[in-house]
Copies of this chain bind each other. A is one copy, B any other.
Amino acid sequence: MEFVGTALAEMTMPQISPLAGEPIERADAERLAGVLKALADPARLRLLSLIQSAPEGEACVCDLTAPLGLSQPTVSHHLRILTEAGLLEREKRGVWAYYRLVPSAIATIADLLTPPRKRATKKAR
């Protein structure tokens, strides 16, 4: 599972909702699973949480290693995973790399997981 990259973006366009209408295809399942896999890690969930609750909604690596209790390379690795999944965006200012949430990313995932409720797909069986 390497280049998830724009996986999230590609998923937002087609109305693939695993719990909406018809069974999802293998390719869609793999894309969604890829993004979910990026989320399914305690360290990464805490990273997202820490970044979101940081002063300006952004944080650099040096601010995150201590709260997590993980080494700097490990934190950098997790941030890379989250960024490639489309959940974080990176901005380098000077020597520091600032990470912030991609606003709609998590919301998109939540929408994909939300049962049809009222968002009508074309066909109700």
Q: Spell out A's residues near B (CB within 8 Å).
A: 18-19, 21-24, 26, 29-30, 32-33, 36-37, 39-46, 48-50, 52-53, 56-57, 67, 101, 103-104, 106-107, 109-111, 113-115, 119-122, 124-125
Contacts and interface: CB of A to CB of B under 8 A. Distances in A.
Given A113-B109, A124-B103, A42 B57 contact: no
Chain A interface SS verdict (over half): helix
Interface centre among A23, A37, A111, A119 (most CB of B within 10 A): A23
A125 B113 CA distance: 29
A67 B23 contact: yes
B110 A18 contact: no
Contact of A33 (B21, B32, B42, B121): B42
